[in-house]
Amino acid sequence: MSSKKTATFGVLVALAFIFSYVESTIPFNFAVPGMKLGFANIIVLVTLYLLGSKEAFVISMIRIILVGFTFGNLNTMMYSLAGGLLSFAVMALAKRFDGFSIWGVSVLGAIFHNVGQVAVAMLVLQTSALIGYLPFLLVFGIISGVVIGIVGAELTKRLRVILKV
Partner 1 sequence: MKKNDIIVIVLVAFLALGIGGYYFATRTESKNAKVVIEVNGQLYKEVNLYEDQKVEIETSNNHKNVLEIKDGYASMVEADCSDQICVHQRAIHYNGETIVCLPHLIMVTVQSDEEYSVDSVAN
The site for partner 1 (CB under 8 A) is made up of 29-33, 75-76, 79, 99-101, 103-104, 107-108, 111, 121, 124-127, 129-132, 134-136, 138-139, 141-142, 146
CA gap 53, 71 in Å, rounded: 26
Q: Give the residue with the Cβ less far from partner 1, 151 or 163.
A: 151
Q: Give the residue with the Cβ less far from partner 1, 17 or 140.
A: 140
CB 103 to partner 1: min, Å: 5
Q: Give the residue with the Cβ less far from partner 1, 1 or 31.
A: 31
Amino acid identity, residue 84? G
Tell whether the torsion through CA atoms of 55, 88, 113 and 61 is positive or negative. Answer: negative
DSSP string covering 101-142, please? Answer: -HHHHHHHHHHHHHHHHHHHHHHHHT-SGGGGGHHHHHHHHH
Q: Give the residue with the Cβ less far from partner 1, 25 or 126.
A: 126
CB 141 to partner 1: min, Å: 7
Helices (H), the chain: 3-25, 40-50, 53-71, 74-97, 102-125, 134-163
CB 16 to partner 1: min, Å: 20
CB 161 to partner 1: min, Å: 22
